[in-house]
Amino acid sequence: MENRIRATDTERSQALEIVSQALSRGQLNFVEFDERSQAVTAAVYRDELVAPLADLVVNPHQAVVPVDAPSNSAISQVVPGADGESMSIGILSEHKREGIWTIAKSHTSIAVLGDNVLDLTAARFADRDLTINVCAVLGEVKIIVPDDVHLTAPGFALLGEFTAKNAGVAPAGAPTIRVQGLALLGAVTVERRAVRRA
C-alpha cells in the first residue's frame, strides 16, 4: 500500500491560489469558493488537494507542485494557475521574450516578415503541460526550452523549415512542452539549452 504524504502549507497555498483564480474567472460562485477553500485548508494529505481542483484544471493531480520537487529541475519553473502571456506577435519587427516571465498554458506565436524569440529557460510555466501554437510566414519563430523538459514538436513546413534541435530525455514528472504549427516560406526552430539553476 502506497504511503500517503502529508500536505504542506505551501502546497495548500498553491491550491488556494488556483481556487481563488477560479472564482475571479467565474468558474466558481461564492458558495462553491467557500466550500473548496475550506476543503483545501482542512486537507491533511496531498491527495486531499485533488478533489477541490478536479473540475478547475486539466490535471488536478499535477496542479500542485510538491515542495520536495527538486529545485534544480524544470519542475521548479511550474507555477500552477498563474496568469501568463498567451500571445507573441512579430510583424515586420522582432519580438523577444527572455529572462523571468510567465507563459500561459496555451500560447500563440506569430511571425510575419518578422521574428519571434521565446526563451523559456528562466520563464515560469502556468501549467505542467504547455502548448505553443506557431505560425511563421516569411519570418522566424525561435523557441528555446530547458533541456530537462519533455518536448514534442509536430509541425508542418511548406517551402520553409520546422525543426526541433538537440532532442533529449527528460526525467519522470518533468513539464511537457508541445510546439505545433506551420512554417510557410519561413522557419520554426525549437532548441534545447542546458540551464544552470541554484
What would the pLDDT profile of 102-154 be if each residue is shown by its tens digit?
999 999 999 999 999 999 998 989 888 899 999 999 999 999 999 888 888 88
Q: Give the CB-side neighbour count of residue 157, counting CA atoms within 13 A.
A: 16
Reported as a single tens digit per residue, the pLDDT across 24-39 is 889 999 999 999 999 9
Answer yes or no: do 169 and 94 share one domain: yes
Instruction: Please state, in angstroms and rounded to a whole number, the distance separating the CA atoms of residues 192 and 142.
Output: 11
Q: Which residue has the higher pLDDT, 18 or 189?
A: 189
Task: Output the pLDDT for position 64.
Answer: 72
Q: In this structure, are residues 168 and 144 in contact, taking their beta carbons and an 8 Å threshold?
A: no
State the average pLDDT over residues 91-105: 91
Which string of DSSP letters, residue by residue, matches the chain?
Answer: -PPPPBPPHHHHHHHHHHHHHHHHTTSS-HHHHHHHHHHHHH--BGGGGTGGGTTTSS-GGGSSPPTTS-TTSGGGGB-TT---EEEEEEESSEEEE-SS-EEEEEEEEEEESSEEEEE-SS-EESSSEEEEEEEEESSEEEEEEETTSEEE--EEEESSEEEEES--PPPTT--EEEEEEEEESSEEEEEEE-----
pTM over 0.85: no
Residue 53: domain span? 9-68
User: Does residue 92 sit in the same domain as residue 189?
Assistant: yes
Is 80 exceeded by the pLDDT of residue 80? no
Mark whether 93 and 39 lie in a shared domain. Answer: no
46 and 137 assigned to the same domain: no
pLDDT tens digits, 58-77: 777 767 766 555 556 777 78
Q: Work out the percent of the chain whose per-residue pLDDT is above 70.
A: 90
Percent of the chain residues past pLDDT 90, beyond the cut: 47
- Based on the fold, state whether residues 92 and 161 are members of the same structural domain: yes
Residues 89 and 184 in one domain: yes
Residue 119 burial by CB count (10 A; 0-12/13-18/19+): exposed, middle or buried?
middle
139 neighbors 113 (Cβ within 8 angstroms): yes
Total domains present in the chain: 2
pLDDT of residue 188: 95
Q: Is residue 154 part of a domain?
A: yes
Identify whether residues 57 and 118 lie together within a single domain: no
Most confident among 45-54, 79-88, 131-140 (mean pLDDT): 131-140
